[in-house]
Amino acid sequence: MRLFTALQPPGEVLDEVEQAIAPHVGRVPGLRWPDRATWHITLAFFGEVPEGALPDLETRLARAVRRHDVLDVAFTGFGGFSSAGRARVFWAGLSGDPMNRLVDSLRAAGRRAGAAHTDEKRFHPHLTLGRAKTEVDLRPLVESLSGFSGSVWRAEAVHLVRSHLGAQVRYESLAKWALSPVRRD
């Protein structure tokens, strides 16, 4: 099964992003806009994982997530992969607490559980909002959204998600683990 780990931002902050992009949705040639129900922030991507490896993967991921604190982050700025001028992916970026240590731990858990295709590329936290089959120039779109700054929100849990590929990709959350709550005085 095709698996990855992800954060699920709260509805209120997704509302802010949705409102910001609304005037542009369907109006950028070549760009497809996945349904909001599919929005997520990918942390570690594992690719195809044999079903038999799932219990071990879940145990290791649960252990990894517990060792990291909740994260305070905000959506700030939009961009394109691999660049705004030549993009196949349109995204909203995140600022605030860095997620790299968490992602490193999740990737290590995946490797140890035998997930053969654990992604090792440099991690750029983002929410994918649009996809293109060929490279498109998103500089005007990115420029027109440059004033956007979303509310701060707290990422409190990590989801293990299964991708069901098809004409319309569908994501199924298989498990959810809480990040360690920060002690407040």
For binding to ligand 3AM (CB under 6 A), which residues are involved? 4, 40, 42, 45, 47, 119, 128, 163
Nearer to ligand 3AM, 97 or 119 (CB): 119
| Least distance between ligand 3AM and beta carbon 4 (Å) | 5
| Least distance between ligand 3AM and beta carbon 143 (Å) | 22
Q: Which DSSP string corresponds to 30-75?
A: TEE---GGG--EEEEEEEE--GGGHHHHHHHHHHHHHTSB-EEEEE
Q: Which residue is nearest to ligand 3AM (CB)?
A: 128
**Angle between helix 54-66 and 100-112 (nearest 10):** 150
Query: From the centroid of its chain, how far is CA 151?
Result: 17
| Least distance between ligand 3AM and beta carbon 176 (Å) | 16
Q: In what order do the strands lie in the sheet with 157-164?
A: 41-48, 2-7, 157-164, 170-178
Residue 94 to residues 17, 48, 89, 109, 112, Cα–Cα distance (Å): 12, 27, 15, 24, 28
Nearer to ligand 3AM, 32 or 67 (CB): 32
In terms of Cβ atoms closer than 10 Å to its own Cβ (0-12, 13-18, 19+), residue 105 is buried
| Least distance between ligand 3AM and beta carbon 127 (Å) | 7
| Least distance between ligand 3AM and beta carbon 47 (Å) | 6
Nearer to ligand 3AM, 56 or 119 (CB): 119
Nearer to ligand 3AM, 133 or 183 (CB): 133
| Least distance between ligand 3AM and beta carbon 182 (Å) | 26
Nearer to ligand 3AM, 39 or 147 (CB): 39
Nearer to ligand 3AM, 93 or 96 (CB): 93
For residue 94, what is the enclosing H or E element? strand 87-96
